Every structure is written in C-alpha cells, then in structure tokens.
Amino acid sequence: MAKVIDEQAISNEVTGRQYNVEIHADWMTPSGRPRSAPMYQTTIGNKYLSQIKTIKAKSAEEVEQKARAQITKWVEQEIKGRIADAKDEAKGNAEDATVQASDYIDSLRNILNYTLSVDDRINWDELIDRSELPPFFFIDPPNRLPPVLKQEYPPKPFFLAIMPGALRKWREKCQAIDQQYENVLAAIEDKYAADIKEWEDAKSKAQEEYQARKAEFAKQQSESNQKTIDFRKRFEDGEPEAIIEYVKAVFERSSYPEGIMLDYEVAYEPSSTTVVVDVTLPPQGMIPDVIEYRFVTSSKELKPIKMKKKDHDELYDDVVKQIIIRTIHEVFEAVYTSHVQSVVANGWVTYINKATGLDETSCIISVSSESKQFETFNLARIDTSECIKALKGLTAGPLSNVAPVKPILQLNREDKRFIESREVLADINATTNLAEIPWEDFEHLVRDLFEKMFSNDGAEVRVTQASRDQGVDAIAFDPDPIRGGKFVIQAKRYNNVVGVSAVRDLYGTMINEGAVKGILVTTSHYGSDSRAFAKDKPITLIDGSNLVYLLEQYGHKVRIDIKSKDK
C-alpha cells in the first residue's frame, strides 16, 4: 500500500517557503527621545506554531543573523509538528477505514435480514400517476406609459388690448399646445391598446398550447395508468408473461450492499406454478476480505489486515446462500396470488479457470422450495447452510471452489425461436443421400432422431427457427432431476471436415443457453483439433458414420455419399 506519510515532502514544503526578514532602523527611544545611533529591529512569526517575535540589535547584520536562526528553529519545530499531525491523522484514517470495513462486512452478513423488514410486494397504488401539470401561468399585462406633463401656455402679452391680432395668435398657440397634448395622450392610448391586444393574443395562444399539453399529458397519463391496471389484472389472472414481468420488477427494487451487483433471468411454468430464477452471482474476488486497517509507524503507511482465507471462504459461502434464500423469499412474499407455489433459484458465477486462464460460467448452487414449506421458516433465526440443507439444495462442496452443480430446473423451455417441426424421417429411405438433402430438412431430421432417442425418458425436443448460422438448431429438455437438463443440438450438413471453430461456437452457445450438454451432428467428420477441444467438456460429436448407425438403430436405412464440397 502506498505510504500515507511522506516526511520528505513535508520537509520540502516547509523549508521551501520564502522567509523574508524586513529590518528597519529606529531612531527614537521608547520614551520618545532621539537616539544618537539607530537601533535595528524586525518582527517575524510562524503561523503554524502561533509564534511572533521582535528581534532588536545595534546592527542590521546582527538582526538578520538572529532572525534567521529563530526561523530555522521554528522550521524544525513545524516539520516535527506537521509529521506528528500527519501520523495522528493517519491513525484516525485507519480507525475510520476499519469502521467502514467492519460496517460493510456486517452489511454482507445481514443481506437476508435486511429484506425481512421490507415489503417486497409491488405497491400498485404507487404506480398510478396522479400528478398534475403546473397551473397555467402567463406574464402580467403591460402597463400604460407614464403620464406626460402638458406644456405650459406662453404668457399673455401685455399689449393684447391694443393689438387684437396678437390675442388671436396667442390663442392659436394655446390651441396647438392643447392639440399636441391630446395627440400624445391618444398615442399613449393607442400604444397601450396595441400592447394589450398583443398580450391577449399571446396569452390566448399560450392557453391553447397549455390546454393541448394538458390534454396530451392526461392522455399519456391515462394510457400509462391503464397499462398498470391491465398489468395488475394480467398478473392477478396468472398470465405467465405478467408474472415474469412482475417478479423482475420486484428484483429491480431489491437493494443490496454497494458493490453487490446481481442479474436475474426469470421463467415461469404455469403447469407446476413454478418460478425459476437464474441469479448471476458476484465472484468471490468481488467480496472484500479486509477487516481492519493499521497505521505502521516504522513504514509510515496504512496496512490492510485481511481475514484468513478460510474465513473469507465462509463469508462468501454465507453471502451466496443468503442471496439465494433471499431471492426465494422475495418471490414468495411479493407474489400474493396462488399462481406461484414453488420457486427454483439457481446461482451462476463467472470465474477464471486457473488451469486454462479462460472465463467459465457455472451453476454453483440450486435450491427449490414449496411456498407452504418456506412460509414456516423463521428467516431471522436460520443458519443459511442448514436452511439450504433443509430445502435439499444442491451444492458441490464449498461455494468458493465454484464447483458446478446441475440446476434443479432451468429456464427458457418456451423459447420464442422454436417452430413446428416437420416429419422428415418418414420420407427417407436407403436411396436417400443425407449429404444432398436440403439443410433445413437435415435439421428436422436430427430433431426427429433425437426425439426418438429421448422419448423413452419423457424428454422434449424442439426445433428453432431455420437460420443456417452457428446458433441453436434444436433444444432437448430432459426432466430427469439427476442426469437431465437442457441440451443444445446443432446440425451441420457438411461435405468437408468440421473445423474446431464449429465446436468452439457450440461450447459458447451452451454457456449462453445455460445448457448442461452440447451435441454436434454432421454428415461429414471431425478433425483432431475438434475432438481435442471437445475432450473433457460436456460435448458429444456425432460424425456421418455414427449418424448412419444411429438412424439404423431406429429403423431408418440411409447413406451419406460426399461427392462435392459444401456450398
């Protein structure tokens, strides 16, 4: 960990300052008498130490020398003081960091307890939007222009009596002043009327726009609220998609300690009233293992004190089990209808395989519970490991080992990619060359074959949309709780060697689909690199000769005659 105290940096910062010594000569004694020779003095200080000192001497050189000596002494004291302060601060930081680390680990240990005080049900009333637009507002109307003063009449000439014409001219001037004033008043009124008209037009337009906005707001609000009402009805009626959407909304509102990021995938099986949840768990490396911070005086650094690996493994184990139990609890508490009677929670984690250095994803815990059983539990007092055992949950040793287990029940049985399959096997005979039949027919043929192979075990095989890509061509669902699960099947009507890239793609598809096994079927054959890649992986490679053999086992004579390269 980086040093928290850099003594050299503190020393450089203090010694690197500019320390000015301003000396002046004093020719007066304290009593106010003149001196025959000046007395030199300076005042210096250290803000950090809260020190101020006045130094006097008979020469400026002596004052300078004494002042510099005092400054050097203060610098040494300040450096020691600042280092001591830094140590105290570091110790305080260590204590604060320890409290934070302890509080966070405590929050991890209470992931389950936290949700027990929370009502996980969706509050439908809160989803209804009852907000209103702010009331209409418009600026105040304009004011009239301020009144103007009427121009004063000119004084009457004293000679009006003897000059009648002068009186007439004076009266004309007065009338002109009156008319001018009336014109000004009229202009003011006209301007005010125009301003009022403009304001009223603008207000009317704004009101129209407001009413349009209000109507649109009300429309959208009504549509949104109706969607909520419809959603509630669909959920309470037990519509599968609504139940899935509802459960996802519950998880979106679920609050975990900072740093615990979970992803959920949800499925629902109406026939068994079962919700299946795949939870993407944090890897162990995301769970902090620091329990304390100490300040080491000798190295002047904060040292994290980590818990023992055994304790960290136990913490991770407990966190994962809490998450799974909490997931089941949140579903049962939130779904207040009778349409969900059981929950299966599968915990998946992506980690680095230390042997290969590659990312791998495994299901490391799978737990199923019926609501009647789960409701009898007092979750505030359980031991998570004992609870998982009581629910007959599946784990393969310590969860820190990320040992994979087979999920009790998996997602996506009703994949939207599925299409109605065609009967192809009935149309083939000994003259049929599988290398030449349409690739769509070949995919359906493979589906037919595996449906026959799986039929005795109650499995279901579905064909996906024809895409002629490297995606999923068929999916098998085996309900057997031990050996069963989801199988990804790909059919490659190739006339050349199937390269390792096709096998890699199948493996990637298995991971994306959450499948327990992958099967690749081809009319051709596989190279050594393909078989090497499939070794030690849950992948079965069926080449052309094996495909012919399997078909013969189920009463279908066919041939594969490769004459040309795949188009």
* Per-residue pLDDT tens over the stretch 271-326: 789 999 999 999 998 999 998 888 888 777 888 899 999 999 999 999 999 999 99
- Indicate the residue among 367, 401, 435 that finishes a domain: 401
> Is the residue at 162 inside a domain?
no
Render 445-464 in DSSP notation, one character per residue: HHHHHHHHHHHTTT-EEEEE
The backbone torsions φ and ψ at residue 365, rounded to the nearest 5 degrees and listed phi first, read -155, 140
The pLDDT value recorded for residue 460 is: 59
| One domain, residues 490 and 374 | no
Q: Residues 440-450, buried b or exposed e (16+ Cβ, 10 A)?
A: bbbbbbbbbbb
Contacts of 451 (CB under 8 A, 6+ apart): 421, 461
| One domain, residues 382 and 464 | no
- Indicate the residue among 354, 374, 401 that finishes a domain: 401
Q: Which pLDDT band holds residue 467 (cuts at 50, 70, 90)? A: very low
| One domain, residues 338 and 446 | no
Residue whose tokens read 């210096």: 44
Q: Which helix (H) or strand (E) holds 33?
A: none
d(Cα 80, Cα 86) in Å, to the nearest integer? 10
Give the count of domains, the chain: 3
Token reading at 114: 């936290």
pLDDT: which is higher, 492 or 265: 265
Token reading at 125: 């009333």
> Is the residue at 531 inside a domain?
yes
| One domain, residues 26 and 54 | yes
Residue among 377, 380, 355, 404 at smallest CA distance from 510 = 404
The backbone torsions φ and ψ at residue 4, rounded to the nearest 5 degrees and listed phi first, read -95, -15
| One domain, residues 432 and 536 | yes
> Is the residue at 503 inside a domain?
yes
Summarised one tens digit per residue, pLDDT across range 92-127 is: 888 888 899 999 999 999 999 999 999 999 999 999
Secondary structure letter of residue 413 according to DSSP: T
Q: Are 27 and 40 in contact (CB under 8 A)?
A: no
d(Cα 346, Cα 276) in Å, to the nearest integer? 8
d(Cα 203, Cα 216) in Å, to the nearest integer? 20
The pLDDT value recorded for residue 343 is: 94
> 433 lies in which domain range?
418-553
d(Cα 478, Cα 485) in Å, to the nearest integer? 5
CA angle 273, 279, 282 (to 5 degrees): 165
> Is the residue at 348 inside a domain?
yes
In the predicted model, what is the mean pLDDT of the chain? 85
Residue among 466, 474, 540 at smallest CA distance from 503 = 540
| One domain, residues 353 and 285 | yes
> Is the residue at 458 inside a domain?
yes
Residue among 441, 412, 235 at smallest CA distance from 339 = 235
Q: Could you report how far apart the first and last alpha carbons of the chain are, in Å?
A: 60
The pLDDT value recorded for residue 255 is: 93
How many angstroms from the chain centroid is the CA of residue 17?
Answer: 48
Helix (H, G, I), strand (E, B) or coil at 154: coil
| One domain, residues 376 and 445 | no
- Indicate the residue among 342, 372, 401 that finishes a domain: 401
| One domain, residues 422 and 397 | no
Residue whose tokens read 């459960």: 247
**Residue 193, CA distances (Å) to 149, 185, 190, 198 in order:** 21, 12, 5, 9
* CATH code for the domain in which residue 525 is found: 3.40.1350.10
- Axis-axis angle for helices 439-455, 544-553 (nearest 10): 50
Average pLDDT over residues 459-480: 57
Residue whose tokens read 């202009």: 187
pLDDT of residue 415 exceeding 80: no
Average pLDDT over residues 56-65: 91
| One domain, residues 258 and 391 | yes
- Highest mean pLDDT: which of 181-190, 431-440, 555-564? 181-190
Residue whose tokens read 């949104």: 224
Residue among 182, 183, 180, 195 at smallest CA distance from 144 = 195
| One domain, residues 468 and 386 | no
Residue among 130, 159, 320 at smallest CA distance from 225 = 130
> Is the residue at 466 inside a domain?
yes
The backbone torsions φ and ψ at residue 198, rounded to the nearest 5 degrees and listed phi first, read -60, -40
Average pLDDT over residues 187-210: 92
| One domain, residues 302 and 349 | yes
Summarised one tens digit per residue, pLDDT across range 141-151 is: 988 777 777 77
| One domain, residues 380 and 470 | no
